[in-house]
Chains A and B, each alone.
Chain A
Amino acid sequence: MSQTGNMDAIVIRNVVKHFRKSTIRREYTTFKSELVRWLTGKRDRGGTRFIEALRGIDLVIPRGKTVGIIGRNGSGKSTLLKLMTGIYSPTSGSIDINGRISALLDLGAGFHPDFSGRENILINGIILGMSRVEIRARMDDIIAFSELGDFIDEPVRTYSSGMYMRLAFSVATHVDPDILIIDEILAVGDEHFGKKSLGKMTEFKKAGKTIVLVTHDLSTIERWCDLAAWIDAGRIRRMGAPGEVVDEYRRAVALAEEQAQVMVPAALAADGGALPQVQAAPPATRPEVEISEVRLLGSSGAPVSTLGAQDPLEVAIHFTARMPVEEVGFSVVLHTKDGVRVYGTSTFREQVPLPTPLPPAGVVRLRLERVGLSPGHYTLDVSAHSAEGREYSAFRDRCRLSVEASGEGQALPPHRWTVEPAPEALVSSAPLAQAVTP
C-alpha cells in the first residue's frame, strides 16, 4: 500500500461529498437554531437535505502523468478538484496527496486593486504557498513571463483584464509544485500568451510533474493528456486513454441530445444526471461501411501534417465495406481548431459516381490542387453515410493539419498585388511595382 502510495501523486478512495441544500440555496437559518447547531456542532440530519455532488469517487493519479478530467456541467469536476486541493474536505472516504500541490482554480486570489503588480505578486505568491525568499528569487522571472513591462509598478486596477490574467497566471505557474491542478484556465490572454502558457505547461510536463486538468476543450484532453477520467453523476464513469474516453463521452452526449434528455443540474437529479449508456462500439453493431484510416498526403505522396498554402493535398480515405451497400457517400469537413467550419463537401453533394456496390475494401481520394488556407491549425472530419444521412462510420478530430503561410483569416485565394499610376500622371508606361505572392 505504501509502495503504491509513492508511485501515485493522488490516491482517492471512495470519496463522497455532500453539501447541505440550505447552504447551496443560501438560506440562513434563525439565530437560535443556528447557534444551537453551531455550538453543539451537531447536524440536524433529519431536517436538512443534502446534495450529493460526489457519490463515491475512486481515482488514482499516477506520478508524472497529465490527467484530464471531463464531464458535463455539474457532474462534480470542480468539487473533485477542490477536494484534491484541500479547500473542501470529503464527507467520507480518503484522499492522499503525495507532494506539494498548487491549484490554478482561480487566478489572482488575494489581488488588491490598489496595489501594484509587484506588490500583488508578493501577496499572491504567499497565499499560493511560497515563502518571501522564494518569491523574491523568482520575481524577475514572474515579471518577465507576464510581459507587463513598466505596468508592473502600476496599481492592478488600471490593468486590462488580459494583463490581470497574465500577471496572475505568471505567479501561479512559478509556484513550482509537484502536482499542478488546473481548472479551465488554459485560455489565458491573447493567442500569443495562450501559446506561452501552453509552453509553460509543456515545461511542467517535461519536468515530470503531475498535472490534473479540467476542461471542456476535448481536443486539449486528446492532444495533451496521458490519461482521461470521465466523471458522470458524481462517479468516475471511465478512465483510460484520452482518445477512447473522449470518444465515448462524445457519443454519450450526442445520445443524450438525441433522446432529448432534460439537462437538469446534475447534482440535484435523483440519478445524478448520468448520461445514457453507450455501446462501446461492440462488434455486433459494426457499421456496414467503416473508415479504417484517413491519410493526408502531400505532393510526393508521402504523409504530411504541415504544408504551405499553395501545396496540393490529398485526403486518402481507406474504407472497408462489410456488406454490399447500395448508396453510400463520403464527406469531408475541414474546420479550424476552434471548431469553425472552413469547408465541407461530400460525394453526394458533388454527385460523384461511386461503384455500386462498394468494393469490400478500397480508398477514396479527394485531391485539393492547392490547400488555399491561411496559416493555422485545422482538423479534418471524414464520415461515410447513407443517402438519407445515416452515418455508417466517422473519423473525427484525428486528422490534423498545420498550414504555414502569410495572411490571416481562413481562406487564401490565389492572388497578386500590382500598383499602377493614374493615367494623367503617366510618365513611364511601366507599372511602378509589382509583387506576386509565391
Chain B
Amino acid sequence: MFRNLRELYQYRGLLLSLTQRELKARYRGSVLGFLWTFLNPTLQMVVYTLLFSVYMRQQIEAYAYFLFIGLLPWIWFASSVGGGASAISDRRDLLTKVRFPAQVLPASVVVTNLCNFLLSLPLLILFGLFFGWKPSWHVVALPLVIVTQLGVTLALAYLLSAINVTFRDLQQIINNLLTMWFFVTPIFYRATTIPEDFRLAMVLANPMAVMATSYQSIFYDHQLPAAGPLALWAGIAFVLLTVASIIFERRREEFAEVV
C-alpha cells in the first residue's frame, strides 16, 4: 500500500492534471459551468426535502440542512465508486498507447469528486447559517472523517476498477447497488429511526452510515463524532486499501492487454 501511495505521490503532477482536466471538462460548454457543482446536490436536496418534510413528515428541524449534510459526502462516495469502477476500462486510449501509471486513474476519479465535495462545503455552511446553525469548533474533527472516507472510497475504487477490466458487468451491478446503499444509509433520516434491534449492526457494517452520522454530529448536533465506529472504519480502510493495492498491483500488468 505504501508503495502504491508513494507512486501516487510520485505521479502527483499527473494526478493533479487529470483531476484538473476532469473538473474542467465536466461542465465545459454548459452555460452555468461550474455552478452545477452546487446546483446538482441542491436540486437533489430540494426533491428529497419536498418528499420527506412535506409529503412524509420527518420530525427533524431544519430538514433541508440536515439532509444536505449527509447528501454531500454521499455524492462524493457514490460518484467515486460508480466512476471508479470504469476508471481503468474506459481509458484504453491511455493504457495501451503510452506507459501510464494505471493507479493514477481511479485515484483521479476519487480526488476529482473529493474536490467537488470540498468546494461545496462552503455552500453547506451557508445553508446552515440560513437555518440558524452556526459552525462550531467541532469541525476540527472533520479532516479525520474526510480522510477515513477517502481511504474507504479509494480502496473500493481500486478494487472495483481492477475487477471491472475483466468483468464488465460490475459497473452495472455497482450502479444498482449504490441506489440500494443510499436508502440504507441514514442520510434523509436519523440513525435513531432504525429499529433498535439491528441499528448497531446496520450502522457499523455500513461505512457510509458511519460517515453520514459523523458529519451530522459535527455540523448538525455540534458534537464530536462517535470515536469508536470511526476508528473501526479507519482501521478497516487501512486494511482494505492495503488489500486493494496488492490486488491492483498484481493485476496491473494485465490491464494494457485486457482493456
Contacts and interface: CB of A to CB of B under 8 A. Distances in A.
B13 A126 contact: yes
Interface in B1-50: 13-14, 17-18, 21, 24-25, 28-29
B211 interface: no
Interface string B87-99: 0000001111111
Contacts of B97: 87, 105-106, 109
A112 B25 contact: yes
Contact of B98 (A35, A89, A109, A132): A109
Nearest to B166: A34
Chain B contact-residue range equals: 20 to 34
Contacts of A417: none
A319 B253 CA distance: 57
Contacts of A89: 253
A38 B98 contact: no
B130 interface: no
Contact of B100 (A20, A123, A127): A127
A128 B98 contact: yes
A395 B125 CA distance: 83
Contacts of B98: 85, 87, 103, 105-106, 109-110, 127-128
Contacts of B169: 31
B138 interface: no
A87 B95 contact: yes
Nearest to A38: B163
A109 B98 CA distance: 7
A360 B44 CA distance: 95
A39 interface: yes
A110 B98 CA distance: 10
Nearest to A39: B247
Contacts of A151: none
Contacts of A123: 17-18, 21
A87 B256 contact: yes
A150 to B, nearest CB: 20
B168 interface: yes
Interface of A: 19-20, 23, 28-29, 31, 34-35, 38-39, 41, 82, 85-89, 101, 103, 105-106, 109-110, 112, 114-115, 119, 122-123, 126-129, 131-132
Interface of B: 13-14, 17-18, 21, 24-25, 28-29, 93-100, 162-163, 166-169, 247, 250-251, 253, 256-258
23 contacts: A20-B257, A23-B257, A28-B167, A35-B163, A38-B163, A38-B167, A82-B96, A85-B98, A86-B99, A87-B97, A87-B98, A101-B99, A103-B99, A105-B98, A110-B94, A110-B98, A112-B21, A114-B25, A114-B28, A115-B28, A119-B24, A122-B17, A123-B21
What 4 A-B pairs come out closest when comparing CB atoms?
A106-B97, A86-B99, A114-B28, A89-B253
